[in-house]
Amino acid sequence: MGLVGCLAVSGCSGGEEASILGKPTLVAGVRPDLPGIGFRLADGRFEGLDVDVSRYLADRMGKKVRFAPALAADRERLLRDGKVDMVLTFWLEPEWKQRLAFAGPYLLSYQDILVREGERGVRGVRDLEGRRICAVTGSGAAEAVTRERQVAAVPVAARSYNECLTMLGDGRIDAITTNDTILAGLKTRRGDAFRLLNARFGERRTGIAIRKGDPDGCEALNKAITHMYQDGTMAKLMAKWFGTSGLDLSDVEVPQFEGCL
């Protein structure tokens, strides 16, 4: 998930030319593999919540926006190499904050579990003990189960959540666990084949990653995020993308910003 600050080269002045504020067009890195969040269509266009959020934020800042694919394993490199100006759907975790700056969060969600529709043995995170869960490269969702929750699940590596969905469908894994919004989007692809548990076992603060050294750009993003909630846009977007997924949308919480560094 963020907008870019100082380019990863020596001698950067930190002025407006090094900030996202000095760019007429922002390049937003969005996931190409997450239906409802960020998904690349056959014709190359992107759609999803993060796409609509990026357009809204850029418009509030007086910018244009274009999109680039950013898988979990690639997103930090894309930011550091200057290929994108911001990356959405980024958990705000201490280890990431050491290397990147973050605006937001723009979304509060919870970690949840997606299983096959016929699965009745998994009702919550503790039921993942001994079961195979998808571990996407670059994502900390599986570790949140095995390390933070101390549940002895069996991680099975995957490059993307599309791959996870295929493995869940053919029985190579027993569950997918990550943000409930990501899982809700995945569920919409296969309809009744999967079931979202609404287990909600850990709050996840999702922000926009940008390069360090651009506090003004970060603050501009935060101001735009505030407007997005105040004018009702975020609630409408959540209903647009996840209204039929089974995700509980009764309370779209307004995030508390963590501050720009």
Domain ranges of the chain: 16-108+205-242, 110-196
Token pair for residue 175?
Answer: 């569950």
Instruction: Tell me the average pLDDT of the chain.
Output: 89
Residue spans of beta strands (DSSP E) within 46-100: 46-47, 64-69, 86-91
pLDDT digits (tens, 9 = 90+) for 17-59: 489 999 999 999 999 988 999 999 999 999 999 999 999 999 9
CATH code given to domain 16-108+205-242: 3.40.190.10
Split at pLDDT 50, 70, 90, the class of 95 is confident
Average pLDDT over residues 118-130: 96
Split at pLDDT 50, 70, 90, the class of 138 is confident
Tell me, what's the pLDDT at 261? 63
- What sign does the dihedral 253-47-1-217 (CA atoms) show? negative
Residue 181: pLDDT over 80: yes
CA distances from 71 to 103, 141, 161 (A): 19, 14, 10
CATH superfamily ID and name for 110-196: Periplasmic binding protein-like II (3.40.190.10)
Place of tokens 């009744």: 192
Residue 6: pLDDT over 90: no
Average pLDDT over residues 196-217: 92
